Amino acid sequence: MNLYKSVEVIDSGKSIIVQRADGSAVRYHSAWLRDNALDPKTRNTINGQRLITLSDIPINTYIESATLDETGKNIFLTFLPEKKKVSFSANWLETHAYDVKQDNIKGWIPKDLKIWGRNMSTNIPTVDYKSASEDKNLLLEWLKSIYCYGFAKMTGGKIESGALIQIANFFGYVRETNYGKWFEVRTEIDAINLAYTNLGIEPHTDNPYRDPVPTIQILYCLENSVRGGDSAVVDGFYAATRLREENSDYFDLLTKYCLRFEFKGDKKTHLKSRRPLIELSSDGELIAIRFNNRSAAPITDVPYDIMEDYYKAYRAFADIINDQTMAVKFKLNPGDCFVLDNTRVLHARTAYSDSGSRWLQGCYADKDGLLSKISTM
Ligand code: FE2
């Protein structure tokens, strides 16, 4: 519970300043307060959608008076020239306070995300299918761990084609692509002909040639009797953080210039995108990693004088991603799956070369659905 000691109009009504119980102060602008008024004419009380546009607010809006009730929990404002009276709770104002020191470094990540390396191998967030289906709290914790770590496992699901859709249903909807609702990752190995050795696949994010890129991926195991063929995941946010700490110039190059990604499938499919390997928001937040050597097109957006350094930076980033201290490895058994944030976590497969079969199915879903589910649960 937030409590205020006093409120005062400053800057000729352009702002207010509020004294907190602990003696600190916080300011809010009149235009901001008027725009965010919570009265039923400004905001729909059911869905919270704003009912006015900026142009409905007088350009010379200002606060004539500001008072605090005796509990210290609510502030009452009068705006002129509208003569509009609006109240805000101290709790609401504190939740949305913006008068704070902004000292974000380039590549910052939200506080509730935790970066990880190989040491998470012994502590992989996991739930079994039956428990997740029956216990809402367990399901919620599991969904939160997908958000927090960008990755989680589920065990004990049904061993039938298409069962991965039920995993997507826990938090959202399948994103259908030209591959269909899901795609097959399947190899039958002929033990006699070892030429068909199944090579490992280095850590990558999926489908960087799509715009927007698929944000959630589910990989679901139906058969796995081969030797090897383990799955591995790498935290791309940790890799980017390491690159920034080891060589900030390299980090800047990979955030500044775009790669192009391209995929030509059948005659009806030609997908292209143009994005950096490490994507930051305009205020420096680390928002996505794209790393997939197989679908990287020729780099044409880096100036001649920079290209040599760009390649060095690209290689340094790849070296970090492939560093053995980065990967969390695990074996999927039939009915097991893992869910990952494809904008953050890279996935890989170790080689397998024995007899047996390995059959996975994969599909995509959307991260906003995951976050919505967490919020509403
Ligand atoms: Fe993949």
DSSP assignments along 210-231, one per residue: SSSPP-EEEEEEEEE-SSB--E
Same domain, yes or no: 177 and 253: yes
CA of 53 relative to ligand 1 center, distance in Å: 44
Residue 133 lies in a domain: yes
pLDDT tier for residue 189 given thresholds of 50, 70 and 90: low
> 346 C-alpha to center of ligand 1: Å?
8
Same domain? For 195 and 276 the reply is yes
**Does residue 108 fall inside a structural domain?**
no
Q: For residue 223, list its beta bridge partners.
A: 359
Distance between Cα 292 and ligand 1 center (Å): 9
Q: What is the pLDDT of residue 194?
A: 42
Q: How far apart are CA 327 and CA 200, in angstroms?
A: 14
- Res. 353: pLDDT tops 90: no
Do 306 and 250 reside in the same domain of the chain?
A: yes
Give me the mean pLDDT over the 233-257 stretch.
98
Domain co-membership, 126 together with 84 = no
Tens of pLDDT along 271-304? 999 999 999 999 999 999 999 999 999 999 999 9
Q: For residues 32 and 41, give the distance between their C-alpha atoms in angstroms, rounded to a whole number.
A: 16
pLDDT band at 186 (very low <50, low <70, confident <90, very high): confident
Distance 141 CA to ligand 1 centre (A): 26
Question: 164 alpha carbon to ligand 1 midpoint, in Å?
Answer: 16
Kindly give the distance from the C-alpha atom of residue 230 to the centroid of ligand 1, in angstroms, as a whole number.
Answer: 13
Indicate if 242 and 359 belong to the same structural domain.
yes
Q: At 341, is the secondary structure helix, strand, or coil?
A: strand
Is residue 310 one of the residues assigned to a domain? Answer: yes
3-state helix, strand, coil in the chain (%, to 5): 30, 35, 40
H or E element that contains 249: helix 248-256
202 C-alpha to ligand 1 centroid (Å): 9
Nearest-CA neighbor of 274 among 253, 296, 303?
296
Mean pLDDT of the chain: 94
pTM: 0.93
Query: What pLDDT, on the 0 to 100 scale, is given for residue 195?
Result: 42
Give pLDDT tens digits for 56-106: 999 999 999 999 999 999 999 999 999 999 999 999 999 999 999 887 899
The CA 302 to ligand 1 mean position distance, Å, reads: 27
